[in-house]
Structure 1
């Protein structure tokens, strides 16, 4: 069972021992299984126990939150200015050694990005309560206000697809933790309201890594629009970071229970620290190890597909691929025989000539992302002198609005079901279509736009 399977609506069984706990929970919650709410509650309780004794940098008094947000934003802005000055002085990229490194990171944070905003889903039921306006605005903006070109999940999927990097191969169970948390919070908003708004407070702060990531992706020829979009909407002046602090203050009890509520807000805030963050994922990358791991995953598919014409150190290719653990030695053998010439233009390597180009003997065996991995490993020091033209951040213009496409049966069925309902009943009927699983579909985009229209009319 895979992430792609989950995205197609086929949930995994909790008894599937091939999956780790976080991935199983992720797929069950995403798949909206009948026991999803109970599973989400248990999962949240377990994760909150993990952060119960951890440190928290929130101010002691909630009234200090606005100033705290502004100070954090100012510190990030100064750190980014320092980074830009260092780059202008000739310092190398801080995060990504090469394009393969960047794609590696984009793939491993994908389970979280594929459910962007999901922690706020359960607050839609409070659409009549003005205290939730900032949080609902945040969620609806994550959904692009129903426009495919601005829907964060649609944008991220397209980013992966553009680089043929939409496979979950190589993902570990820990990469699903934050996504599972977000889905669980979205399903348990009523019971865990302080934790939801605390998590939102932490997640919506503008981090330094977002700014640096956008800058370096552009240098590597990867459209940074998903990341630049978050830079603008997460600002401390009027964006999601500001709204997050205002939500805490607006929902904080005035009398008894105030201290306990804020304590729970802090617990939800600390949930952001669980699992590997973006900078940790960046640091985990090892180019050689990833090449070996990628070829090891493909080994079983190719171990009987090669002729016996070529031998390397006395073994055929099929023999090299017959047993696990031989890939590293096989790559050394290819180098010793001159089929791979490290630190040179990959086009000079016979191995690369076999996999790149329409007439290549192994055309189609490797995805574009896998070929990028091999390319950067072969090129190594040679690639450091090559410059990739920077990419200007896009604006999603290549993503057509869903209502310009052929009629979608789910959209038509949803529209028909709303036909005779009063406005308020329509609005409540639309909420399930704004879930993590559905909102990026044509019907979900339609439902988001209709939800916004009805909410404005009824307020």
Structure 2
């Protein structure tokens, strides 16, 4: 596992830049082709080279790690205390000016959040090695130990769905870089184990932005649970931040040269700097530009869908939409003729009435996220004076309660919770076999037909991949795997 020595500082002969987005989705495929593996290896090496000169606060000796952890958490705590004091004194939100700004953020970080923990997946085939126990434990906890309500990717997928932000796959290239790094580490763990351990060490340290994000999302009626979960599970005393430090020490016996090992661990820590940071993404939001982008995204179809009766500044709506470069001008002309009344209640704007509401002529054309962007843009400077329900929607607890009830109703039909050793269900029985549970029944039968431990565990590991672990069968595989690991360590 420690065979490949990475020359981080050596210039790369290859000058080709690999597409982060292409690598991201290719590595999420069930099976990687040799070409994709080769491309992602070059991509990973390039990122290591580019971050080689980056500064880091991580110490160069094992003895200083505990002090480093304590100082980091104390520093974050002090900064968060100062933030809370400023808010109490009347300062505005530091990150999100409007709800649409926060939803933009949720959507923009989706490529990273939807592969949460993936950098550790390559370790799972080494489940028998006690020197990797802390890292394997972290991965299982990222997967919620197979419990759907605690699986981090499941939680984020639900958050996106509740807020109508599921169109993240259309994001630009630079939003996929960090996720591609994490998947590349998973694909090349056998040659980059210290870098994986280092990346995990850096990623699991509690950042200030996580605390502020959770605080401000709650103010905007967006469920903060995914983010508050990470503030608790990553704690420095008993959580992932502590386990990450333990993992650095536990894996040390795998390497003969401790100096080279720690150098590579530090290189892995620096990979956390690759791509857009949380603050970079927050600062990228431009409300007017996002409205223009949204209208441009509808133009290909919209240019054929409107009647010619409505003429604005001498052009029909179809004619305006036929040229995407004219969309910004089209918005300005809608203001000029009164179709949009900026810095007022959007309900006073004819354009808003056309797109919002169940009986609106253009009902369903704009997603919930897109409507929020348009609402906030029209409201402009008047937004804070508008009714909370109108500008923020229903409290997230109400929305979540309805969603949970639907999930519970679904799970009363299908359950796949088993004891690994006895094979007995631990909860209610599945209903009679039908066309909707064939995949689960086939999975269960196959698991119990495998009489070789190594083959069984490999089968389960395949289902615990970043592409599958959040599915019902992936969650079931995780529970089986977790049960067996508990019996070993």
TM over 0.5, shorter chain: yes
Give the distance between the partners of 2:217 and 2:227, measured in 1 at CA: 9
User: Equivalent of 2:459, from 399, 416, 429?
Assistant: 429
Give the distance between the partners of 1:327 and 1:125, measured in 2 at CA: 52
Give the distance between the partners of 2:410 and 2:479, measured in 1 at CA: 11
Worse-matched range after superposition: 94-103 or 411-420: 411-420
2:442 is aligned to 413
Distance 1:75 1:86, change over 3 A: same
CA contact (8 A) 2:185 2:192 kept: yes
Which segments of 5 or more consecutive residues in structure 1 lack a partner in the other structure?
Answer: 1-18
Q: CA deviation at 1:70?
A: 1.4
1:258 is aligned to 258
Q: CA deviation at 1:169?
A: 6.2
Give the distance between the partners of 2:170 and 2:298, measured in 1 at CA: 11
Count of equivalent residues: 441
TM score, norm. by length of structure 2: 0.86
Give the distance between the partners of 1:403 and 1:424, measured in 2 at CA: 31
Give the distance between the partners of 2:116 and 2:409, measured in 1 at CA: 20
Q: CA deviation at 1:428?
A: 2.6
1:238 is aligned to 238
1:6 is aligned to none
Give the distance between the partners of 2:274 and 2:443, measured in 1 at CA: 38
CA contact (8 A) 2:341 2:348 kept: yes
State whether structure 2 residue 164 is matched by structure 1 residue 164. Answer: yes
Give the distance between the partners of 1:164 and 1:39, measured in 2 at CA: 34
Instruction: Give the superposed CA RMSD.
Output: 2.1
1:225 is aligned to 225
Q: CA deviation at 1:42?
A: 2.3
Q: CA deviation at 1:338?
A: 0.9
Q: How does 1:186-205 map to 2 (within 5 A)?
A: 186-205=186-205
Worse-matched range after superposition: 76-85 or 40-49: 40-49
Q: How does 1:11-50 map to 2 (within 5 A)?
A: 21-31=19-29, 32-35=31-34, 36-50=36-50
CA contact (8 A) 2:199 2:265 kept: yes
Q: CA deviation at 1:126?
A: 2.3
Which segments of 5 or more consecutive residues in structure 2 lack a partner in the other structure?
Answer: 1-16, 415-435
Give the distance between the partners of 1:154 and 1:419, measured in 2 at CA: 26
Q: CA deviation at 1:67?
A: 1.4
1:439 is aligned to 469
Distance 1:106 1:310, change over 3 A: same
Distance 1:37 1:405, change over 3 A: farther
**Residue 362 of structure 2 aligns to a residue in which SS?**
coil
State whether structure 2 residue 344 is matched by structure 1 residue 314. Answer: no
1:214 is aligned to 214
Distance 1:374 1:146, change over 3 A: same
Distance 1:426 1:383, change over 3 A: same
Distance 1:439 1:216, change over 3 A: same
Q: CA deviation at 1:397?
A: 5.0
